Every structure is written in C-alpha cells, then in structure tokens.
Chain A
C-alpha cells in the first residue's frame, strides 16, 4: 500500500474547504454556472443526464480496504448505494447532490481520496497494471514511477491548462495489462543490454474521434530522466498543441502531423536544455517514494498446497480457479480477479454492501489490498493459495465470482445513454444482452479469450476501437444504431479494429455478435486459436460475409 504523508493530507483538506466555499457561492448565486463549471470539473464533478456525477481518482488502481469502505459509505450516504468502476481505474457516483458534495468530499479526503485530475485539461489520474507489485513478469513495481509522476504533475500550473486532457500510463511487465499504447504518453519499463532498467517512451496514442496507436519516440530512457523527459514532451505539447480546435487538440494529432520521428527529435532538443536540471532524479528521491509502497511480510509457502488440491474436486471452484486466479510473483500466493460482470447486470457496478464485504475479504485474505483494473474488474492481489477455497466462497456469496474473466461476457462498457449527457446510444443494455446470450459457461469457454468493448459515442470511453469485437453506438434519425469493428487489441501488440460494415440497429447487435462468434468457431484452425488470431489469419471478409449475409 502507499502511505500518505502530511503534505498529501493537508492538500486534500484545503481543497475540500475551498470547494465548500465555491459550492456555497454557486448556490447563493454569487458565482454563475460559467464561473463555477470549471471549478467543479477540477474536482471531478460533472453534470450528467439526470444528476451530478462525482468521479474519484484511484491512483494507479490501488485501494486499501479502508478506502473501499469509505467508498461504500459515500455510496450509501450521498448516492444510491452503488458506484461504477471505469476504464481509467476511477470510480463514479451517479446521483450526488451539489449541496452534499463538499461533505462527501470531506469524507473521502479522510481516506486520502479525491476527484482531482479526473477532469479538465490537465494530466489525468495516472494508470498502471492492476497487478503492479505482484506480477511474476514484472521488472519492478511501476506504481513507484506513477506516483513520482503524480507528485510532480498534480496542480502543476504549467500542466493545469494544457490544450486538452493528457493521460499517462506506466507498465513494467512484458505483457501489457495497462493498455499503454492508447495513452497520450506511456512508459514501459524494460532492461537494456547492460541489464539496467529504463523506459520505452510512447506518445500520441488515444481513441475517440481520431484513434491512434502511440508511437515509440525513445527506446530506452534511463530512469533518472523520467521527469525531465515528460516535462519536455509536455512543453512541446503546450506550445504546439492545437488550442484552436477541440477535435485536434490532443497530442496524438500533433504527433501524427509531425510524424513520430520528428516529434521525438524535437522532444530531444527541448530535453537537452533541462535534462540535468533540478528534475533529474537522484537515487534518494526514487528510494524515498519506493519505501512508501509497503509490501506484506510474505510467509514462506509452497505452490499448490493441499487445501487447494482438495478444493479442486468441487467443479464450481475448479472452474473459477482456472478462470479468475493468476500466478503471483511469490510462491504460495495468487492474484484473484473479482468479476464485476455478473451475467445480465451492468458492467463495472459495485454496490455499497459488496464494497464493504470486499474490504472485509481483503482485510482477512489480501493484506487489506484491492486493485481496480481498466477492464472494470477488481483484484485481490495478495491471496495465499491455501485460502483460495474460503476466498471463493466469500466472493461467490456476494456475486463477484462469475468465472468469466477475459471471456465474451467480461465486457467493457461505458455508461452510455443511460447516464451520459454526451451519448448517442445505450451501452449497458447491449452488454447485458450479450452476456445473457453467452451465459452458458461451456459456450463462453469454447470461445476462449474474447474481448467485447462498447462505447455509447465516439469519445470511446468503452475502448471500442481496441476490442476484439468493438461496438460503437451512433444515432440515425433518432434511432440507436451500432457500428461493429473487429480485430482491435490493447495489449503490447495494440492495434485498432477494422470496421465490419454498415451499422446495425439496436435489436440486431446481439445477433451480429453471435454471428461473429459462430464465424470464429467455424473459421479457427484449432480449438485454442484465439478470435483475434483467427482474424489476423483470415482478415475481416469472412466475418463480414457472415454478419451481413442475412441483413
């Protein structure tokens, strides 16, 4: 866990009291909506279709049990008893009243939680691998770097009024679980020939109206240079980003216009001026941040203990274990994914009662640690394998043990038209219907890893461009239609999906997805060839034929 210091606490307390004054002045009419809007957005407060929404940052997706309980408390006291985990490792409450927001924020601040950097044209909440610190294939804990960057950019005046929002992600494993290449800037830790750790720097990724996969502008950046190099990128962006046109203002447009190589050269030139300045990191600073991440005192345990072997006789446990439990860096321990995708229910939602129970389970079995992943699931990162049978029972009892992780019903979906004022079409009911259609566990399992991502508009919060099957809601003459693309992926070989053909109406979407699944089953060469690999081998045409044959 990360230990907050006095500086963090003071910052949050001051922020809450400042916001309390702003809300009071808005309610009395002293501030107009125009004046107030940017102030509320700076604290993560949006106005949605039917209420205010409060977005709370969960830096690098790490939550303590205490923080989870606090989220439950806020859900219960100020909202309607649930929250929604987003693709940016944040949580949103959908029904908060303006007058109560300062109290809700004060309660959150007590647990180190806030809404800063969840909105506006600043560096947003920094995301990372939900398995950070426990992944067996990791070089070192990427959260240390995410935290260093967070401390540098939070409320930094130069980065508070960028041309547009700026999203940073950090990863340190071979396998990318943080969708690095769809971020404005991403750092991937790896080792050079001399065995030293450093970062590959990628810029200009992003989805939305003009999607791009990030380009590598530096193959190996020594760790001491992380802040200076990011500063150079942001300076260039601040200077040349298209402030004149909101649709062209993200850094991806600048990088694309200049070309990755040229952009990299210009960053390098800027960087030479500041490289050895005060932001160059010395070992003590890095070590100081690293010491604030506390790791459990792991017991010396063996893999596959007798309790686990015995439990495998129970078919339900065995199915869940095979699907939702992953290898930990420490022998005898496991990483457990909690599916927030129960069949037929909204994706990523979690009730206050579930949050409280998850906090209890984390206290008892995961050293009080919980993680949030960009796929809108939760993780217990520190579970002893001998405890897995008990953990399964506890999670199953509260409905977060659906064994569908990475399967077709583990859908990423944005709030869409059910909540969002920018939406063209609904996303949640589409996800619910797809998950019901593929509810039969053997059918879902036979489809292997298959990611379906749904967005309710071109802003792409549901990452539809990088879904194996991507679904985008559009509006045609007042009706909901959905464009379907296939072949996208967000991992280390990230690529954008290919559009299948004309959009289909709401009532046809689930049938079209079923057509795609059937086409895949017929086309694959082997039972273990993944949908995405079949697509790579045969291209879009055979899928297209299948979907449009009868439409």
Chain B
C-alpha cells in the first residue's frame, strides 16, 4: 500500500492537486491561480506530469495553508470535475455511512 503522499508523479489521466487545510483538515484543491478552494469545480485540472509538477511544487511550498499535498485523479463528465476514485470521492463527500450525529457538519 503506497500512500498517495509518497507517489512519484505519474499521470494516467486528468488530475488535480489536493491537500488538507491546515486549520481544520478540510479537503482542498489547488486552483489555476495558485489558491486553495474547497470546491472541486474550481480546481485546476492537469493532464501531464510537467503541468502537474508546476501546480504541485508551489502548492507543496505553501505549508501554512495546506498539508499533505498530492496529485489525485479526477474524471471529467459533461464539463464537471468528479473525484477519480473511491478514496477521493470519500474525501470530497465525507463518509459513505450515515453519521451518528450530523450537526455541526
């Protein structure tokens, strides 16, 4: 099992740069303007290793806003950006189970 955090940049299709926000751990995505957003719709999508590296390097350097920065796969459907695998789906949407209590969400 290799954590996505240890991966070499290998891009098999459209990808985004994602991380957890430092303050609360919320899942964030890197935008084309090199900012962080919680909305995947605003994420910059890259499709080759060079573009991914260009997006990733400054994102990793921004240690004060986000941590555990890595490249994650996405699917593009009808111009929508969707998480590319179950792990990323769960990161974006939260647990697949009903939480015991959901207030404060």
Contact = CB atoms under 8 A, between A and B. Distances in A.
Interface of A: 26-27, 29, 32-33, 47-52, 79-82, 95, 97-99, 345-346, 349-352, 417-419, 421-424, 426, 428-429, 432, 457-458, 475, 478, 480
Contact of A480 (B67, B86, B94): B86
Contacts of A421: 3, 68
A27 B3 contact: no
A56 B3 CA distance: 25
B100 A82 contact: yes
Nearest to A80: B104
Contact of B25 (A47, A417, A423): A47
Contacts of A351: 100-101
A128 B59 CA distance: 45
Given A417-B86, A418-B95, A478-B85, A81 B103 contact: yes
A81 B102 CA distance: 8
A422 B103 contact: no
Contact of B3 (A98, A345, A422): A422
B91 A50 contact: yes
Contact of A418 (B67, B68, B96): B96
Interface in B54-105: 63-64, 67-68, 85-87, 90-91, 94-97, 99-105
Contact of B95 (A33, A419, A458): A419
Contacts of B87: 49, 417, 423
B23 A98 contact: yes
Nearest to B85: A478
B52 to A, nearest CB: 19
Interface of B: 1, 3, 20, 22-27, 63-64, 67-68, 85-87, 90-91, 94-97, 99-105
A52 B67 CA distance: 11
Contact of A99 (B23, B67, B100): B23
A432 B99 CA distance: 13
A418 B100 CA distance: 13
A418 B101 contact: no
Contacts of A32: 63
Nearest to A354: B100
A27 B1 contact: no
B27 to A, nearest CB: 6
Given A33-B67, A458-B1, A82 B101 contact: yes
10 contacts: A47-B68, A51-B26, A80-B102, A81-B103, A97-B24, A345-B100, A421-B3, A422-B3, A428-B95, A475-B1
A81 B91 CA distance: 20
Contacts of B103: 80-81
Instruction: Pick the 6 closest A-B CB pairs, nearest first.
Output: A81-B101, A418-B95, A51-B25, A82-B100, A97-B24, A29-B64
Given A80-B102, A98-B23, 16 more contacts: A29-B64, A47-B20, A47-B25, A47-B68, A48-B25, A49-B91, A50-B26, A51-B24, A80-B101, A98-B25, A99-B23, A346-B97, A417-B90, A428-B95, A432-B97, A480-B86
A443 B15 CA distance: 48
A292 B63 CA distance: 46
B99 A80 contact: yes
